[in-house]
Amino acid sequence: MFSLVIRYSKEVQAALAQNAPLVALESTIISHGLPRPTNIEVALAVEEIVRTNGAVPATIAIIDGEIHVGLESNSLDRIANDSSILKASIRDLASVTAKKLSAATTVAATSHIAHAAGISFFATGGLGGVHRGAQETWDESADLHSLASLPVLVVSAGAKSILDVAATLERLETFSVPIIGYRTNRFPGFYLSDSGFDLEYRAESAEEIAAIWQARNEVKTNNSGMVVANPVKNQMDFALHEKTLHEGLAAAEVAGIKGKSVTPFLLEYFHSHTNGESLRVNIEIIKENSALAAKIAVAAAQIK
């Protein structure tokens, strides 16, 4: 537990008190991953999908220095519409809280806070990972390290296709993070259903995934997280994806985009250059992942 007070929404507080299934949701996707006003609509829709599937949504963010687990509607509105909202990874948490700033949390920071709050299941869009050109830039998302060091199951549509997927998979192997394909033998590629890489393990149901999650306790690999890779059903047009990726990476290079701005820049580039296609896919991804994460949380609660 943190010594810093966590502010829980009413429904999260009640769920924690009753040991009800919970699903953590990140806020960087809302503040920095989706355009307005779609972002708030998606954030609300995703919370509702978690409820429909029998779990309680806990969207995580920092507002005026306070850590929130579950956002009441005024807080969600700030995260979606206030352009001063920062992007916080784990290393930013101390500065953001000490300075009473407001920030959306990445997969890494959301996992860190979810774990402190006792929440094990988390849905995002696409994982962060090793960036293309990382041999030169050393740009590797802290998401990978958080998966290695926090016992949180993250449902994602694979790693973002803007990344070096092969290198990302190698790092996940080095960090001993299990990856389970949901009804697939292939690692999904975020906007694309198949990144071109094989997966060793697949599961057909939320129950099967919950059983694997549980088995970590028996073999003592329960100090790290797990990736559930859920491929998007209606992927982006392949040629449009290739073209936009190529142009977006070049635009980032020309604009000198570095560090934590790279991912938001490229996602925004896709959203503004694909005629709504990347947005449609991104929304489908986060909705499907949230539904699956809720089903896994429910199945895990039944095992216990």
For residue 296, the minimal CB distance to ligand PSU (Å) is: 18
Rounded Cα gap, residues 13 and 200, in angstroms: 38
User: Pick the catalytic residue: 47, 87, 140, 160?
Assistant: 160
| Sequence-distant (≥ 6) Cβ neighbours of residue 32 within 8 angstroms | 85, 87, 104, 263, 264, 267
Q: 160 an active-site residue?
A: yes
For residue 107, the minimal CB distance to ligand PSU (Å) is: 3
Rounded Cα gap, residues 210 and 153, in angstroms: 10
Measured at the alpha carbon of residue 195, what is the angle toward residues 199 and 166, in degrees to the nearest 5? 75
Closest CA to 265 of 87, 146, 133: 87
Given ligand PSU, Mn ion, none, residue 282, with its beta carbon under 5 to 8 Å by kind, binds: ligand PSU
47, 139, 164, 288: residue in contact with Mn ion (rule CB under 5 A): 139
For residue 131, the minimal CB distance to Mn ion (Å) is: 6
8 Å CB contact between 34 and 42: yes
126, 178, 225, 231: residue in contact with ligand PSU (rule CB under 6 A): 126
Rounded Cα gap, residues 66 and 103, in angstroms: 10
Q: Which is nearer to ligand PSU, 107 or 291 (CB)?
A: 107
The verdict on 28 binding ligand PSU (CB under 6 A) reads: yes
- Letters for 29-58 (x = contact with ligand PSU by CB under 6 A, - = none) are x--xx-------------------------
Q: 220 an active-site residue?
A: no
Cβ count near 196 (within 10 Å):
10
Q: What are phi and psi of 132, to 5 degrees?
A: -60, 140
The verdict on 102 binding ligand PSU (CB under 6 A) reads: no
Closest residue (Cβ) to Mn ion? Answer: 139
HSE-CB of 92 using CA atoms within 13 angstroms? 23
Q: What is the largest CA-CA distance in the chain?
A: 53
For residue 161, the minimal CB distance to ligand PSU (Å) is: 11
Q: Which is nearer to Mn ion, 27 or 235 (CB)?
A: 27
The verdict on 143 binding ligand PSU (CB under 6 A) reads: yes
DSSP state of 133: T
| Active site members | 26, 160
Which residues form the interface with Mn ion (CB under 5 A)? 139
Which residues form the interface with ligand PSU (CB under 6 A)? 26, 28-29, 32-33, 106-107, 124-126, 128, 141-143, 260, 263, 267, 282
